[in-house]
Structure 1
Amino acid sequence: METRERREPKYLTIAADLTARIRAGEYAPGSALPPQRELSAAYGVTLATLRAALARLESDGLLSQQAGRGTFVAEPAAAYQLDSLRSLADDLREQGHVVGTDLIGIAARKAPAWATDALGLPAGERITRVERVRLIAGRPALHQVSWVRAPYGAALLGVDFARTSLYHALAEQGVVVHRARERLRPALLDAPVATLLRQPAGTPVFLSDRVTFGLDDVPVVMDRATILGTVMEIRAERAASGLSLRWHA
């Protein structure tokens, strides 16, 4: 009895070819693909078949289809491993991303209740506040305010945080980071931070509150990060031994 070999759907063949071209650099990150009619003619398929291929690549995170503008190659994903005790900037640079830091300000200020509570300090105590905006490939992605307890905070006033991470600056003072506790929740971007992140107020964001502990298990830093929900997403990687969470941009 004659058997016929099952052929792969045409849209999957097109998706595989476009994937190979993107991986090879023929279509660079951020660049636009040719118009859909041009691509469908080149592949000899209907628009419906081509759109199925593009939808497949979009679900794989390789393309971004923007109404009225066209189809663009997505920027490489930037992942921040939440169970890491390194800084965000160090994690991203290790992945090959261009990470920038705009230092908004550093000064000793009266800390809000959420910071003093997390650090186990008296209400209203003056400690060092470090405010930064993180940029990935020149685009603002995260706003971060770090409250650092005494005596470590005072030594940070002369640090160039555009070049040095907070964790590295603390290590220079002999602070060994032992563990961190982090809580994430969804929120909407408020006006002051919206300006810094170049987004309209009300944009979806994640708020991350992270307390970092020294080797003596005393809380040293309280971080509040506002992370653009339109830029980054949370992905979970599950294993039999536990659960690890990663940031992807």
Structure 2
Amino acid sequence: MSSTPRYRAIADDLTQKIKSGHYRAGEALPAQRELSASYGVTMMTLRQALQVLSGEGLIVQRAGRGTYVTQASAEYPLDTLRSLGDDLRRQGYPLRTEVLSAAIRQAPRSLTRLLDDAPSDRRAFRLARVRHLLGRPAVHQISWIVEPYASAIKGIDFTETPLYTALADVGARVHRATERVRPALLTALVAVRLQHPAGSPVFVSERATYDDQGALVVMDHATILGEWMEIRAERKATDLSLHWVSQR
């Protein structure tokens, strides 16, 4: 027999249905009497489950009108080495990756600055993709992968295979990363990719990932629609350092 309280199991089931898009943002949930009957529980048990969802920001209860699903807001934790895609999958969000381009190209200056003694004609693998959450484009991401990994992964289908899985399969041992996340406004070019108005608030993440020898493996640049993401960090004495910098 499961030790999970019935209200918690109902809350988990409703959470999964919201994150999978069964109940969409702005949509009303079925009436409480209908839900309690479908789960075979009392109204009190159902209301306990709804309180859990309300506390997690997944629903809002409007007096006399019903219970509505709020806009999805996935977490972007700063205290792991997982990729953005892996973090979203772990939170239960259905994620689809659309590959815009994947090719060996001349490395941009922003990448060569991170490499020791890099020649001006240094080449790397450029992977551009859009992440779709709940069927809508939410993240535009460009990753630059350096050699020897660039040539080893250039033929992989990244609509199905996560980048960091592919890197691990060819021997990359990710050890640490530096990341800067800043607020910005959506540029016209990326607005087309994300099908969202230019000038909308976004987060821009710039991340450099290194192997266990201190060599750069990947440089990532991600534009995340502000309405889709909230950034969270678990603060500990030694594990995480946050630096606040004036943008003026």
Deviation string, structure 1 residues 48-74 (Cα, Å, up to 9, x no partner):
xxxxxxxxx978623469xxxx97312
Displacement of 1:223 in angstroms is 0.5
Give the aligned partner of residue 7 of structure 1: none
2: distance between equivalents of 1:61 and 1:232?
13
Conserved? CA contact 2:127–2:144, under 8 Å:
yes
Matched, 1:195 2:192: yes
1:227 aligns with 2:224: yes
- RMSD over aligned Cα, in angstroms? 3.5
Could you tell me which runs of 5 or more consecutive residues in structure 2 were left unpaired when the two chains were aligned: 1-8, 19-23, 31-52, 243-248
| 2:76 aligned residue | 80
- Code of the residue aligned with 1:173 in structure 2: it is V
User: Within the alignment, does 1:165 sit opposite 2:162 as a pair?
Assistant: yes
TM-score, normalized by length of structure 2?
Answer: 0.70
Partner of residue 136 from structure 1, selected from 123, 127, 133 = 133
How many residue pairs match? The answer is: 207
The percentage of counterpart residues that share the same residue type is 52
- TM-score relative to the length of structure 1: 0.70
Q: Give the greater-gyration-radius structure (CA).
A: 1
Gaps of 5+ in 1: 1-19, 35-56
Classify 1:244/1:76 alpha carbon distance in 2 versus 1 (closer, same or farther; 3 Å).
farther
- 2:113 aligns to what SS in structure 1? helix
Offset of residue 243 of structure 1: 4.6
- 1:152-194 per-position Cα deviation (integer Å, ceiling 9, x unaligned): 1112221011111111111111111011110111111111111
Counterpart of 1:49 in structure 2 is none
Farther off after superposition, 120-129 or 208-217: 120-129
- Matched to 2:152, the amino acid is A
Partner Cα separation in structure 2 for residue 195 and residue 202 of structure 1: 12
- Specify whether residues 76 and 122 from structure 1 end up closer, same or farther in structure 2 by C-alpha distance, changes over 3 A only: same
Structure 1 counterpart of 2:212, from 211, 215, 218 = 215
d(CA) in 1 for partners of 2:86, 2:103: 24
